[in-house]
Structure 1
Amino acid sequence: MAFDLGWQLILELLVLGSFTGFLAGLLGVGGGATLVPFITLLLTLKGFPEAYIVKMAVATSLATICFTSISSVRAHHQRGGVRWDIVKLLAPGIVLGSLLGAQIAKALPANWLALLFALFIGFSATQMFLDKKPKPSRQLPQGAGMIGAGSVIGVLSALVGAGGAFVSVPFMTWCNVPIRAAVATSAALGFPIALMGTVGYIYAGWSLHDMPPGTLGFIYLPALVVIAAASVTTAPLGARTAHRIDTAKLKRVFAVLLYSLASYMLYKGIKGLA
C-alpha cells in the first residue's frame, strides 16, 4: 500500500497534531472538535473523494484518541480521580454503541454526517462560551440504565469522532458525580470509545474497494501516525501551561474558533445537499 505523502502534508499534519494536543492539555477539550474539521479541509484540498472525506476525518480522529487518551488516563488515575466503578458500568454500552455508531456513519450520506458534526461543534462551543454545567438532580441509574447511557455516549462519540466527554461529563454531573471525578472518569472512558469506534470504522470501510491509498478501512494512516506522535508530545506542555494561567478567558476564545469550524462543516454539509 503506497502513501502519496509529500513534505507539505507531513508538515501540515505535524502542526495540526501539535496544536490539538496542546489545546487538549491546556483546556481539557478533546481533539475531535478541532481534528475532524481540519482533517476534512486537508483531505478536501488534496482531492480525496467527497463521499469519504468526512468519514475518514471522523475515523482518523477516533484512532488518534486511542493514543492520546492513555497519558490522560494515567495522570487522572495517579491523582485518584477516576471512578472505575462507573467506568465498568458504562463500558459494555459504550462498546456496543461505538461499534454501532461506525456502521451508522457508513450508512449516512457524507453531507448529513458533516451537518451532524456542525451541530456537535456548535453545541460544544456554546457550552464552553457560557461555561454552563448541569445542576445535579438525580443519582446514577443501575444495570440496564447504565448500559443504555453508555450506548448513547458510544454512538454519538463514534459519529463525531470525539472521546465522549461532551456527553459523559454532563451526564455524570447531572447524576451527582463531582465535576473533577466526572472529567477524570470521562478521560478513562475515552479509550474504549476510541478503540471500539476505530475497530468499527476499520470494519465499515474494509469492503470498499475505491478507498484512497494509505487507508485502513476509513482510517487515513499517514494522518494517524503524524498527528498522534505530535499530539502526545505537546499535550503535557499544554497541561503544565494550564496550571500557570487563567484558562477561563481562553475557553471563550476557543469557543469562537469552534464556531468558525462549525460554520465550515455546515458549509460542507449544505454544499452536499445542493
Structure 2
Amino acid sequence: MKYLDIEKVQNRIGKRLVTNKVAKSIFFLASSFGLIVLAILIYRVIADSLGFIDWDFLTGKLSTRAENAGIMGAILGTVWLMIIVGPITMLLGVGTAIYLECYAKKGKLQSFIQTNISNLAGVPSIVFGILGLTVFVRGLDFGNVVLAGGLTMSLLVLPIVVVAAQEAIRAVPSHLSEASYGMGATKWQTIKNIILPSALPGILTGAILSLSRAIGETAPLVVIGIPALLIPFPGSIFDRFTVLPMQIYYWTLDSVLVAEYANLAAATIVVLLVVLFVMNSVAIIIRNKFQKRY
C-alpha cells in the first residue's frame, strides 16, 4: 500500500510539473507576442517620423500645408491641461482618501461612496466627455477652453488617485499613528506628520498613472469639441486649445487624403511618448527619493 501511495504521489507531482511547464510556456509566448507587437509598432512609428521631427516642427504653428505644420500649439495646450489636472486631482483625490480612511465612520454610507469610486474607475472615458460637455461647456458656459477640458479630464482620472491614495494610507503601519496619538498629537497632526509622508510614494504612483492617462486621452476632448484648427497659442486657462492626442487623431484622419499627414501623426506620437517618458521618469525619481527618506 505504501508503495502504491508513493507511486500515486509521484504521478501527481509529474502531472503538476508538466502543467507548470505548459502554463509557463503559454505565458512566455503571450508576453513575447505582446512585446513583439509593441516593438513593431514603435519601429513603424519612429520610421515614419524620421525627417519630420525638427526644430521648426516643434516650434511651428498648425498649417494647412503638411510641410509647414508644427505642434507648438498642441504642446502648450497639453501643458496648460496638466496645469489644471495635476493640482485638482491631487487635492481632491488625496483629500477624499484621507476623509474616507481617517474620518468617515465605517458604515453603509462609507461603503456606498467607496463602491461608487471603484466603479467610476472603470467607466468609459467618453462618458466623462459627455458629463464635461453637459456641465462645464454648456451648463457653466465655459466653452471648449482649457478650463473645461482640464476639469473634464480631472473627473476622468480622479478615481485612480483616490484608490491609489487609499491603498497607500492603508499600507502605513498602524503602530506609527498609535505612537503619535500616545505622544499627545491630534488626528490632523498625525495625518500631516506621520501618515502622509509615509504614504507619499504610493500617492505619487497614483498621480503618475492618472496624469499619464490624462495626457493620452482623446475621447473626452472630442466630445466637448476641442478643435484642431489654426488657432493661436493658448496663453491662459480661458483660451481655446488643442493637445497632442487630438492632433494625432485629426492628422490620422487627414492622412487618408494626404499621405504626409501620417508622417506628421507619427512624429507627434514620438513627441508624446518622449513627454510621457520624461514625466514618468521625473515622478519615479521623486517617489524613490521620498521612499528612501520615509
Asked if these proteins are the same fold (TM beyond 0.5), I'd say no
Question: Relative contact order (C-alpha < 8 Å, sep 6+): which is higher?
Answer: 1
Q: What is the TM-score of this pair, normalised by structure 1?
A: 0.27
Q: What is the TM-score of this pair, normalised by structure 2?
A: 0.25
